[in-house]
Amino acid sequence: MLIRNRQHTARALFALALMLGAGNALAAGFALYETSTRAVGLGGATLGAPTGAETVYDNPAGMTALPGSSVKAGVAIIHPTMDIDVTTPAGKQRTTPSEKWFPPPFAYYTQQMGDDFWLGLGLHSPYGLGVKHDDDWPGRYNSIETLITAFDVTPTVAYKVNDRLSLAAGLQVMYFDIKMTRAIPNVPALLEIEGDSVGYGGIAALSFKLLDDLTLGLVYRSEVKQEVEGDASVGPHSFDAEGDITLPASYSIGLNYTGIDRWNLGAVATYTGWSSYDELTMRFKMPNPLGIPAASSNKSWDDVWRFGLGAEYQMNERLALQAGYVFDCDPIASAHSDYLLPPGDRHIVSLGANYALGNDWTLGVALAFLKVRDVTLQPRPAEGVFPTKFTNGDTHIAAFSLARNF
C-alpha cells in the first residue's frame, strides 16, 4: 500500500503492535476488552478495585491506590471459529472463515508523583476485526476479507482529592488500519482497499468510596474520528482512496465490594454509542478509469450495553483466584448485518489467577470462552448478501501477564 509521508513515523512506531494486535472482534461490534489478564478473569468488573498498573485502562482514577511505581505487560491469545450457511440459487453451502490465532498485546505503567498526583501510560488494542473467506465463496461480492487493527497510546493523570475521591483524565492517541477485499461482478479481479489514520480522543474517570468497603468507578471515553487515507487496487490498476470512520464513545460504571473477608465482588456496565458508526465508506479521490463505485456499506448500528460480573478470592498471601461472566449486546440491526462482521449477542465465561512470585513480581493467567448467538440474515442481493445463518460462533481466549509494584 502507498502510505502518505506524514504517516511514515506513526507506522514505524506502531509496526510491532500491529503485527500482534489484529484480531477477530470479541466484544459486540468490533471492540476488544481483553486489555489485561485481570480484566479477562473478572469479566471487566475491576473499576472500583485497582491492584496494578492495568488500572490505567480499567479506571485511571484508581492509580491513586498504587503507591510508588507499577508496571504490567502481557498478551491475550485469541482463537475464533464460526460456521456460515449460505443459500444461493445453486443450493446451500457451508463455509468456515479461515481460522487464525491473534495475540493483541498490552502494557501499562503508573508513577506516583507526590502525595496527590499520579501519572500513567497505557498501550493496548481497543478495536480489532479479522475475517477472511475463500476468494470464490458465495458472499465474495460483499466481502472476502476484512481486517481492522487499532492500537491506542493513553497518557493519563490522576489527582487524589481526599481519602474517598480521586479524579483522572487522559488522552487517546489511536492508530487505525483497515483493509477490505471483495469481488466485483463481471470483473476478473478483486477490489482491495487499504488505508490508515491517527485519531485523537479523551478519557475522564472517577473513583469514589461510597463506604469503606464499597467503591464506585466511572469512566468516559470519547469518540475518535479516523480520517483514513490509502489506496485501492483492481488487478494492475491502483487509485488513491480516502474515508472517514467515527469510533464510538463509551460510558462505564462499576462497583466493587470488599466487605467479605478475602473476597472482592464486582459488577460493571458499559454503554457504547455504536450509532456513531453509521457507515463504512472508502472513496476514490479521483474518478477511476474502470468506473468502479466507492466501497460503501450502510451500518446504522444501535447503541448497546455490556454487563459484567466478577468475583476474586484471595486464597493465601500468594494466590488470588478469579471468575467472571459477561453479556454483550449486539449493536448490528438485522437489516444491516453482512459478512464483514459476524453478528450476534455474546456470552463470555472466564477464570483467572494471580500468583505472587516474590520480589514484588506477579504472574497473571486467565482463560475465557465466548459463545455467539446464532443469527439469520435476510437476503439483500444488491449488497451481495444471500439468505445466511451464522452458527457455532465460539472463541477461546488465553491471557498472560507479568507485573511488578515497586
Whether 53 and 363 have beta carbons less than 8 Å apart is answered as: no
Q: Which of 2-6, 110-114, 128-132 has the highest mean pLDDT?
A: 110-114
221-237 pLDDT, tens digit each: 999 999 998 888 888 88
DSSP output for 228-279? EEEEEEETTEEEEEEEEEEEPPEEEEEEEE--STTEEEEEEEEEE-GGG--E
Whether 228 and 197 have beta carbons less than 8 Å apart is answered as: yes
pLDDT value at 4 more than 70:
no
pTM of the model: 0.88
Q: How far is CA 161 from the centre of its chain?
A: 31
Question: Mean of the pLDDT values across residues 309-332?
Answer: 95
Q: What is the pLDDT of the chain when averaged over all its residues?
A: 87
How many C-beta atoms lie closer than 10 Å to residue 239's C-beta?
18
Cell numbers at 154, concatenated:
493513553
Whether 95 and 138 have beta carbons less than 8 Å apart is answered as: yes
Distance CA 137, CA 272 (A): 33
251-303 pLDDT, tens digit each: 999 999 999 999 999 999 999 998 887 766 777 776 655 666 655 566 678 89
Distance CA 195, CA 281 (A): 12
Share of the chain above pLDDT 90, in %: 52
Q: 5-405 has which fold?
A: Porin (2.40.160)
Q: Which of 14-28, 183-197, 254-268, 325-339 has the highest mean pLDDT?
A: 254-268
pLDDT value at 129 more than 60:
yes
Question: Mean of the pLDDT values across residues 342-357?
Answer: 92
What integer pLDDT is reported at residue 295 of this predicted model? 59
